[in-house]
Chain A
Amino acid sequence: GENVEQHPSTLSVQEGDSAVIKCTYSDSASNYFPWYKQELGKRPQLIIDIRSNVGEKKDQRIAVTLNKTAKHFSLHITETQPEDSAVYFCAASTSGSQGNLIFGKGTKLSVKP
């Protein structure tokens, strides 16, 4: 089955700097890659997603890149703000698996003012 590895487990940046979180996946059939932000005690919330037919997607300060050949994808947050502090999870899914998501272990991002 699918396995998703995520790095780093913790990341601390200064406000205004960029943050990059990387994930690798094992199942070449995976075709949907969402990123979730989870604040303490709250539900995971989708912040951006990408499909395997796209190499890059951007939404304001957030971007995701996908390298299908290498089976890795990354989240880029520019101009970080203190409210970006949270745990970020990457996930992978194959439509053949009925859409269930396999999550990475998460990255705790701390943005220092």
Chain B
Amino acid sequence: EPEVTQTPSHQVTQMGQEVILRCVPISNHLYFYWYRQILGQKVEFLVSFYNNEISEKSEIFDDQFSVERPDGSNFTLKIRSTKLEDSAMYFCASGSFLGTEAFFGQGTRLTVV
């Protein structure tokens, strides 16, 4: 069964450093998302991406964040200068049609120290 894959599974970084989280969505999907989940809290929407551009972003997704689809398979989330409060599980998700099931990757746990 196809699935969304994310790398790395766990990343530890120092405050102020840049990190890139990588995702390979399901191959025929057109809609891509990043969500984050602070430990013990709800899943929060960050950004949606379609047709090689951001279609919507939340208040959390400020200038520190960027997304890119550098090739036909990868979808990345970059955090330019990490803060302690960026520590969370980051989930990538993809969907085939608008407003349908989003399939989640297994997540990248980001720890900022």
Contact = CB atoms under 8 A, between A and B. Distances in A.
A32 B95 CA distance: 13
Interface stretch (A56-64, A70-78, A103-111): A103-111
Counting chain B residues whose Cβ lies within 8 A of the other chain, the interface size class is 20 to 34
B22 to A, nearest CB: 16
Counting chain A residues whose Cβ lies within 8 A of the other chain, the interface size class is 20 to 34
B65 interface: no
B112 to A, nearest CB: 19
A32 B55 contact: no
Contacts of A98: 31, 48, 50, 55-56, 98
B104 A99 contact: no
Contacts of B75: none
Given A43-B106, A97-B56, A98-B56, A104 B42 contact: yes
B102 interface: yes
Interface string B21-55: 00000000001010100000111110010100001
Interface of A: 31-32, 34, 36, 42-46, 49, 89, 91, 93-95, 97-106
